[in-house]
């Protein structure tokens, strides 16, 4: 047992170091991502319990890579991204990965290159988005009312600064009903960083829905 455990720990150290080197090299090529310090991916023992642990995509334990108008990594960038595939394959039992790619409006990629990203990370881990990020993850709602139920909130995000909370339900966006999370993604594509919008929010323990103003931010700090 001890031999097997030592071998497992050695393999885990190896794939972590391989990921860290690839992340740092990608940043040298100008690839935007969060967190910038790759050791943060395994910094919290509470959030990380080995490579099969389920992850919150809004946390610093989940690598987020942003392909936007500033993406200039070239072929070398795709080689390095392939090294990060271990963040997907190590999580296959949990069904979730420790990495997400966000392809943001204005990006320079061809459709073939986006297909390459999906081949590396899987279709569900490569998402096309607008230029602003609310900073939430969601959970499906089982009702006919519609809306978006917030499950987690990213630190320092637009949502956190507006004091939106986990379990809040976002009912309306600038006066128009939200049907689901995909609807929210689409309406946000019309906005730019620093735009201000208004959500109608339903909160547990509060009798009536109320309005929350949100100043939208980009996906990362340049």
- Distance, CA of 160 to CA of 135 (rounded, Å): 8
Does residue 127 surpass a pLDDT of 80?
A: yes
Under CATH, domain 136-215 is a member of which superfamily? PDZ domain (2.30.42.10)
Average pLDDT, the chain: 87
- Distance, CA of 32 to CA of 71 (rounded, Å): 8
Does residue 95 surpass a pLDDT of 90?
A: no
pLDDT at 188: 97
Q: Which of 138, 125, 113 shows the shortest CA–CA distance to 64?
A: 125
Answer for the pair 203, 168: CB distance below 8 angstroms, yes or no.
yes
Query: What does the domain layout of the chain look like in residue ranges?
Result: 2-129, 136-215
Tokens found for residue 65:
């890579």
Answer for the pair 65, 82: CB distance below 8 angstroms, yes or no.
no
Using the structure block, give the residue that is written with the tokens 């100043």: 215
- The DSSP symbol for 171 reads E
Lowest mean pLDDT among 1-15, 56-70, 144-158: 1-15
Does residue 147 surpass a pLDDT of 80?
A: yes
- Residue pLDDT, tens place only, 162-204: 999 999 999 999 999 999 999 999 999 999 999 999 999 999 9
100 confidence band (pLDDT: 50, 70, 90): very high
Tokens found for residue 59:
């946390």
pLDDT at 60: 81
Q: What's the length of the chain?
A: 222
Q: What SS3 class is residue 79? A: helix
């Amino acid at each position: 047992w001890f031999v097997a455990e030592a071998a497992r720990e050695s393999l885990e150290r190896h794939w972590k170091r391989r990921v860290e080197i690839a992340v740092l090299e990608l940043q040298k090529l100008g690839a935007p991502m969060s967190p910038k310090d790759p050791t943060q991916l395994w910094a919290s023992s509470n959030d990380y319990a080995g490579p099969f642990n389920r992850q919150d995509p809004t946390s610093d334990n989940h690598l987020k890579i942003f392909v936007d108008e500033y993406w200039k990594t070239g072929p070398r960038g795709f080689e390095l991204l392939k090294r990060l595939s271990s963040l997907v394959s190590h999580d296959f039992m949990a069904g979730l990965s420790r990495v997400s790619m966000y392809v943001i409006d204005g990006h320079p990629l061809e459709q073939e290159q986006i297909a390459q990203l999906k081949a590396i990370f899987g279709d569900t881990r490569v998402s096309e988005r607008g230029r602003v990020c609310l900073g939430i993850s969601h959970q499906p709602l089982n009702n006919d009312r519609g809306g978006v139920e917030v499950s987690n909130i990213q630190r320092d995000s637009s949502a956190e600064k507006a004091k939106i909370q986990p379990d809040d339900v976002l009912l309306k966006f600038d006066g128009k009903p939200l049907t689901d999370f995909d609807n929210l993604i689409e309406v946000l594509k019309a906005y730019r960083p620093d735009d201000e919008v208004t959500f109608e929010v339903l909160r547990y323990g509060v009798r009536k829905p109320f309005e929350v103003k949100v100043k939208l931010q980009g996906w990362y700090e340049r």
